[in-house]
Amino acid sequence: MREYLWFACGVTVSAILFAALLFNDFWKRSAGRLASEDRADKDAAVHNGTAAGGPALDTDTAPDKKRTAISSSGYDYEVFLSFRGTDTRAGITNFLYTSLVDAGIRTYRDDKDLPCGQEVGPELLKAIRQSKISIPIFSKGYASSRWCLEELAYIVECKKTRGQIIMPIFYDVMPLEVRLRTGVYVDALSLHETKKRYSDETIREWKAALEEAGNIKGYDLQSMRNRGEGEFAKQVVQDVLVALKKPYLVVSDCLVGIDHHVGEIMQMMGTQIQETRIVGIYGMGGVGKTTLAKLIYNQLLPDFENCCFLSNIRETSELYGVEWVQNQLLSAVLKPKWPIIENSNEGSRMIKERLSSKKVLLLLDDVDSEIQLNALMGKRDWFGEGSKLIITTRNRDLLNHKVDYTHDLTCMNLNQSMQLFSRHAFRRESPLDEYVTLSKKAVDIAGGLPLALEVIGSLLSRTNKERWDDKLEAFRRAPREVQSKLKVSYDALDDRQKHIFLDIGCLFIGWDVDTVIHAWDEDKYSPRETIEFLQHLSLIKIEKDKKLGMHDHLRDLAREITRQECKRRDAKQRRVWDHKEAFELLQTRKVKCRYHLFPFREDKLYALSPALTHNLYDMIAVKTVKIHKPRIHVASISFPFCTDKRKSRSYLSQVRPSEAIPFFVRRLL
């Protein structure tokens, strides 16, 4: 009887094994078939559709209806944990992960060990790239794992290119060991070299990453022997929460050839020494000065309590005066403890008196006059010892005698240009084989300018291959000026896309997209889809906190187009972005257009004399302005598209400045 039972069990086991083999074979065949179908679909998209493999959408048609959500430039995760599973998964890693999640911090922890011979997957690399902070947990076995070393190398790369924060934990090894001065990490790297499985270049990258991470001030658990892992995890969570409150600046994912620029400027900044340093970055418009400066700012940010990013100083000073920018600086550093300033001389004095004892990180973006520099940073003793200042400008002469170092940011070389163009046109690092010749033409037309490469590539990615020559010819015929090249992409838009592009460029830069979306009629303009389409073409950007952004070249293009349209039609501008001009229009009888977009400043008093109140009688409010006829000389205003009556302001009340308030005024027909 026992023999029969053993026989039956044997048959059962054999049947299970045979079924498993059949399933495995079926799975492989199915996976292969799906992969073949996927490749076939991609090939079909390339030959029959667009360069990026998306739907064949002509840029003169409506936006893609399949994608209606407006995405923002942000992060999928706040923290990425890099660790050797067999060493710490059940201990410190689990304590830390649970504590971070309980605190509401979006944390990535990979629970799988990479099988021998397999590559680190794109999803894992994306998780690293889309994290604000990486925490490598250095244990004795960390350097023995190829996976851990690959992660660390990419983490260090993201620190250089995206300003990612690294907060290392030295679990059961000393920082000296991680820096490969002695101990188990030296032995682990020697073993990797002996096995000859990895290239010399890969080994060098791993060593460099270990050395850099080992030099970062972190948590040395060897010196915290009396502290439990749970208690330690709580301390790390508190430090992470503090770090996440820092105002990090969002930068693009598509960065090419920028590492050496970041490295050079970081050396100029003297991060290891406590002395004030001022560095100026200069170059032509659209070459990437602001992006580079943001990366440097993000890398320096963890070491500063007082920090300020002043963007578009050239435009802001022209519209509202340099004292407006001085107010921004004082507000950012002193928070609510600052009195309003009325003129630039008073502002300069206050900056010197209030900030001279504070260690400050300051980024002055797009400076174009010595008046602006003198008003914001007259002398280095205006700021406390150890302050770091970054200036971007198109005019190198402004930096003379003002900075310690200068950095000339030039256009991209041919290889870098092709890589950046391909990322926007094809969503890959190089052009598809059948597009190589066309891509070379596009790169040549862009002249190594990152902004032009981005805009041209984004436009062509949504254009059928058969029309590439026509589009490229239009770019080629345009004058060499940057705006002329960019206008080709504007000309490819339909009327509603042009309308919203001009509205954003003239008025809505810096505004919350979910607020501004109500400025346009849904049926007529399909604003959400149109904004997404403009974003895809790189004509606008959705910045941090869903704020609308636009490169200053594109902004200037939108405003110049608005001016030229009014000249051709011999009419007043439909969009007015200068608050002084807006008020002058209200004071005259020259309001002839169907509607105007007017910006007004909160810190100004606006009042019309009774003789001019006929202008107010002829206008009605749209969403934002209410004209009270019993007191016709007083125009009450509320913030745009905001139903909160507590935010209402009267022109005759003195209000502190925060930003310009745009609002609609439509003339009765």
Return the closest-CA partner of residue 468 out of 43, 67, 52: 52
Residues sharing a CB contact under 8 Å with residue 254, sequence separation 6 or more, in sequence order: 420, 423, 424, 454
Judge contact between 374 and 325, C-beta under 8 A.
no
Residues sharing a CB contact under 8 Å with residue 461, sequence separation 6 or more, in sequence order: 50, 51, 52, 54, 424, 425, 426, 427, 536
β-sheet bridge partners, residue 81: 109, 135
β-sheet bridge partners, residue 189: none
β-sheet bridge partners, residue 408: 282
Helix H or strand E encompassing 617: helix 614-617
CA distance 185 to 190: 8
β-sheet bridge partners, residue 599: 662
Rg of the chain taking only CA atoms, in angstroms? 29
Q: Is 151 considered catalytic here?
A: yes
- Name the E strands within 381-540: 388-393, 405-408
The active-site residue out of 151, 177, 454, 532 is 151
Residues sharing a CB contact under 8 Å with residue 623, sequence separation 6 or more, in sequence order: 518, 519, 640, 641, 663, 664
For the chain, the farthest-separated pair of C-alpha atoms sits apart, in whole angstroms, at 116
In DSSP notation, 493-505 reads: S-HHHHHHHHHII
CA distance 289 to 313: 14
Residues sharing a CB contact under 8 Å with residue 511, sequence separation 6 or more, in sequence order: 547, 548, 640, 662
CA distance 165 to 175: 18
Judge contact between 517 and 487, C-beta under 8 A.
no
CA distance 352 to 384: 10
CA angle 173-174-180, nearest 5°? 95
In angstroms, how far is the first alpha carbon of the chain from the final one?
102
CA distance 20 to 433: 41
User: Per residue, what are the HEC states of 89-134?
Assistant: HHHHHHHHHHHHHHCCCCEEECCCCCCCCCCCCHHHHHHHHCEEEE
Tokens for 135? 């925490």
20-53 burial code (b ≥16 CB/10 A, e <16): eeeeeeeeeeeeeeeeeeeeeeeeebbeebbbbb
In DSSP notation, 548-583 reads: EE--HHHHHHHHHHHHHHHHHHTS--SB---HHHHH
Return the closest-CA partner of residue 507 out of 550, 569, 570: 550
CA distance 264 to 373: 24
- The residues assigned a catalytic role are 151
